[in-house]
């Protein structure tokens, strides 16, 4: 759960002390060139490196080795045969359950980065990390109609559905008209296709109200940040503000467009800072699903009738299972969300064509900046 900057922290921490708060990146930019300050890129670098180490961000073996070599170049500098003796990476951990031959692969790649400064190595790290399948995806857990666990991902391009580690559906923001929820039901209203007579409404049954609202808020925030030039202004009408049913939550921080512009105007590109050395960590097997589940939220989403496939006319993206080695058969990234369209049978979809306005008390129409 993310802290709301507009509310006092003490009102958001309802459980007993001691409290543990983590400083994290919330919105992952699609291009590191948008990050104007070296210090900001360094914070992104630290976040992604930690996510890969803990298993939160799955990474293929070869890509993980390349990323680790950039991290080593950033911290140790150029490879020196007289100083970097065999085993010089033995105190470092880069991935869960790190095999012994992984260090040799990193050392081999490290030798190819001679001349890169720490800032350049970190930029290359970010440029490589952004191609990962799950880069920038915020996951919420759910269950399908067969009571099997699936994951709902929210990211810069839209909403994703994963089942058995395979991407089953992608719903781009452009295809979504409205997102709404009532009690523990979450709804996605899709834009009408040419061959359809009405808009399609997908219904999700969650385990509780709080989990449902967390998913809805994540969608509102990601859509506003990545799709709008500026946040929607708050309602000024007194009666509309106090007598309108439902959540009044709106994302009010800077959007990506505003953040980039602010960085160009106000960035301190000459900031001097000290990089922190990596802490050697004990290597142990960490199951990705277990680690991810614990790192996302205490509120898990569940459903008994969640669609595993899209309705007619909506994009369907299938990708191979996440693996530690080997290449994906159908590569995709944050920047390639509309590729590999596959249309499937609508028979497996839980769909209601009822107008959401009569059922949801909390809703927001998704608009896009021209």
Establish if 8 belongs to a structural domain. no
15 lies in some domain? no
Helices (H) and strands (E) in the chain, counts: 9, 9
Does 13 fall in a domain? no
Note whether 158 and 170 are within 8 A (CB): yes
pLDDT at 263: 87
Round to whole Å and give the CA distance between 244 and 223: 22
Q: Confirm whether 16 is domain-assigned.
A: no
Contact 336, 370 (CB under 8 A): no
Cα–chain center distance at 47: 12
With 0-12 / 13-18 / 19 or more C-beta atoms within 10 angstroms meaning exposed / middle / buried, residue 138 is: buried
**Residue 197 zone, left/alpha/beta (φ > 0; ψ -120 to 50; rest):** alpha
Q: Is residue 300, in this structure, part of any structural domain at all?
A: yes
Closest by CA position to 3, among listed 330, 20, 97:
20
285: containing domain = 23-365
Contact 118, 275 (CB under 8 A): yes
Q: What is the dihedral of CA 334, 337, 340, 341, to 10 degrees?
A: 160
pLDDT tens string 27-84: 999 899 999 999 999 999 999 999 999 999 999 999 999 999 999 999 999 999 999 9
Nearest CA among 260, 278, 241 for reference residue 75:
278
Who wins on pLDDT, 300 or 155?
155
| Other Cβ atoms within 10 Å of 140 Cβ, number | 24
Percent of the chain with pLDDT over 90: 40
CA atoms lying within 13 Å on the CB side of residue 311? 21
Residue 118 is encoded by which pair of tokens?
């720490």
Query: 267-273 contacts: CB < 8 A, separation 24 or more?
Result: 267/36, 267/37, 268/37, 268/39, 269/36, 269/37, 269/38, 271/37, 271/38, 271/39, 273/39, 273/42
Q: Please indicate, yes or no, if residue 223 is contained in any of the structural domains.
A: yes
**Is position 139 within any domain?**
yes
pLDDT, one tens digit per residue, over 234-252 is: 665 554 444 444 566 666 7
Confidence tier at 155 by pLDDT (50, 70, 90)? very high
pTM over 0.75: no
Indicate if the pLDDT at residue 293 is higher than 70: no
pLDDT bin (cut points 50, 70, 90) of residue 116 is: very high
Has residue 136 got a pLDDT over 80?
yes
Work out how many domains the chain is built from and give that number.
Answer: 1
Is residue 1 domain-resident?
no
Residues near 324 by beta carbon (within 8 Å), at least 6 away in sequence: 58, 59, 60, 61, 64, 95
């Amino acid at each position: 759960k993310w802290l709301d900057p507009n509310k006092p922290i003490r009102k958001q921490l309802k459980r007993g002390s001691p409290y543990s708060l983590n400083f994290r990146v919330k919105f992952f930019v699609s291009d590191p060139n948008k990050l104007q300050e070296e210090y900001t890129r360094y914070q992104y670098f630290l976040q992604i490196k930690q996510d890969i180490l803990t298993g939160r961000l799955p990474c293929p073996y070869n890509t993980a080795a390349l990323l680790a070599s950039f991290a080593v170049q950033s911290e140790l500098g150029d490879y020196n045969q007289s100083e970097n003796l065999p085993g010089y990476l033995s105190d470092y951990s880069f991935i869960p359950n790190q095999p012994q031959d992984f260090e040799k692969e990193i050392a081999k790649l490290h030798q190819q980065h001679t001349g890169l400064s720490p800032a350049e190595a970190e930029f290359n790290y970010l440029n490589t990390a952004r191609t990962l399948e799950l880069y920038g995806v915020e996951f919420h857990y759910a269950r399908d109609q067969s009571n099997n666990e699936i994951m709902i991902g929210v990211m810069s391009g839209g909403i994703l559905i994963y089942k058995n580690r395979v991407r089953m559906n992608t719903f781009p923001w452009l295809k979504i008209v409205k997102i709404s929820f009532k009690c523990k039901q979450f709804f996605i209203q899709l834009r009408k296709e040419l061959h359809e007579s009405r808009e399609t409404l997908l219904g999700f049954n969650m385990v509780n109200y709080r989990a449902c609202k967390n998913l809805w808020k994540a969608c509102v925030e990601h859509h506003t940040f990545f799709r709008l030039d500026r946040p929607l202004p708050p309602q000024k009408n007194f009666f509309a503000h106090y007598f309108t049913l439902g959540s009044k939550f709106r994302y009010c921080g800077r959007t990506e467009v505003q953040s980039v512009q602010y960085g160009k105007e106000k960035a301190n590109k000459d900031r001097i800072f000290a990089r922190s050395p990596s802490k050697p960590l004990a290597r142990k097997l960490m199951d990705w699903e277990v680690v991810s589940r614990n790192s996302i939220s205490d509120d898990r989403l569940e459903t008994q009738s969640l669609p595993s496939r899209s309705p007619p006319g909506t994009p369907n993206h299938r990708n191979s299972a996440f693996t530690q080695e080997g290449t994906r058969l159908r590569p995709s990234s944050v920047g390639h969300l509309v590729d590999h369209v596959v249309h499937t049978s609508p028979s497996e979809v839980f769909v209601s064509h009822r107008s959401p306005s009569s059922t949801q008390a909390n809703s927001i129409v998704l608009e896009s900046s021209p």
